[in-house]
Amino acid sequence: MKRSAFPTLALSLLTTAALAEGGFYGDPPDATHPWAIHDMNRPQPMRVEPGTFSSQEKPGTPPSDAIILFGGKAEEIEKWISDKNGEPTKWVVKESVLQCVPGSGYVRTKEEFADCQLHIEWSAPSKVEGNSQGRGNSGVFLMGQVEVQVLDNYNNPSYPDGMASSIYGINPPMANPLRAPGEWQSYDIIFRRPIFKDGKELDPGYITVFVNGVLTQDHTPLEGGGGHMKRSKPKAFPDQGPLKLQDHGNPVRYRNIWYRPLPKRAIEGGEASRMSEAATAAKRAEIAKSIREDAAKLEGNAKMLRLFESICYEANADAQEFALAAVTDFATAMKAVPADKIAAQKGEILHVTKALRYLTQFKFVPQDLAAKQDLEAIIKAQDWEPKKK
């Protein structure tokens, strides 16, 4: 029973904290930030159960929300088709590993997606044949458009913008952390597609890559899709595309392929830290409405403070009027409490006054609000906030 009780308790503490702090803590929302600093009205990050890391002997497990493209099962070959003709691929699953059959052409996923965190592991043939681009060559094509190179560059130099984990034809990797051929190599890729509007590039799109845990591409801008011999130019991508793996004539093996879709960027209307002014205004209105709905279920000072909180997100004459009348009533009632009974009200008076200080500091209510002056006078007379030495 204790195990299941904990989340409930945590949630109720959270709710209490939200009500206690409300919007009266960090700097308030502004034109491009719909939330206050340290805002408890901001949604909690979604829970994801982490996976496990791979070893050479055994692939790890994906996080709980990952979409698995190949997890080692023979039937998962059905998630992939020949890129040439959309027919079943001639690539094979052997010993829980997806293997390129040279001459059979690229494979692509039936699934189409775009911005993602992609995990993929590959292994070049342990029997070393060829050199430069001819040794253990394959490739991971995000959206079928841009190649993160797969190549056995262990003791095998090649042109740097075509080496393992280069964005092929665009940018070399910052380091070469490859293991020996035959060993498993992991790529963790963060991919953002380019965004164009009316033919104008708003965001070039970016790729970040870790190879065996070592950063090799750091938010590298895409400059289009890259390619062989020709300098690539920025271009729009489709909304979604498949993941493609290259047949470059080498029997490269793959395992543990999964991705997690990424949320929209601010530029696409997503809720990143800096949003457009229009999107921020819309979000602030949505938050304010939700707080007013919550306030409608409350009574007394809790209701008043929640309504005050709502006006930090969006001005609302009814909410403001109700809350100002309520705080005036509260201050009047507190002034009437006899001196020997006022101590019982200390917590509530300090709590409301703290909120009023915030609201006056950020000009949500008039600086000379009489209710605030009355409550401050009580605090001073009782010496509830002695000056720090």
Q: For residues 368, 370, 371 and 375, what is the CA-based torsion angle, rounded to 10 degrees?
A: 80
Nearer to Mg ion, 161 or 203 (CB): 161
Nearer to Mg ion, 79 or 248 (CB): 248
The CB-of-178 to Mg ion minimum distance in angstroms stands at 14
The CB-of-135 to Mg ion minimum distance in angstroms stands at 11
Q: How many residues bind Mg ion (CB under 5 A)?
A: 4
Stretch that binds Mg ion, among 79-87, 138-146, 282-290, 324-332 (CB under 5 A): 138-146
* Exposed / middle / buried, residue 54 (Cβ in 10 Å: 0-12, 13-18, 19+): middle
What lies within 8 Å, CB to CB, of 155 at 6+ separation is none
The CB-of-168 to Mg ion minimum distance in angstroms stands at 6
Chain Cα centroid distance, residue 355: 31
The CB-of-15 to Mg ion minimum distance in angstroms stands at 53
The CB-of-249 to Mg ion minimum distance in angstroms stands at 10
**Binding string, 223-252, against Mg ion, x = CB under 5 A?**
-----------------------x-x----
**CA distances, 344 to each of 33, 350, 382, 384 (Å):** 39, 12, 12, 12
Figure out which of the listed residues 59, 105, 136, 139 binds Mg ion, where binding follows CB under 5 A.
139
What lies within 8 Å, CB to CB, of 304 at 6+ separation is 322, 323, 326, 327, 330, 352
The CB-of-93 to Mg ion minimum distance in angstroms stands at 21
**Residue 340 has which token pair?**
């020997």
Check residue 144 for interaction with Mg ion (CB under 5 A): no
Check residue 162 for interaction with Mg ion (CB under 5 A): no
Chain Cα centroid distance, residue 54: 24
Stretch that binds Mg ion, among 12-20, 131-139, 225-233, 358-366 (CB under 5 A): 131-139
Q: Which residue is nearest to Mg ion (CB)?
A: 139
CA diameter of the chain: 94
Residues of this chain that interact with Mg ion (CB under 5 A) are 137, 139, 246, 248
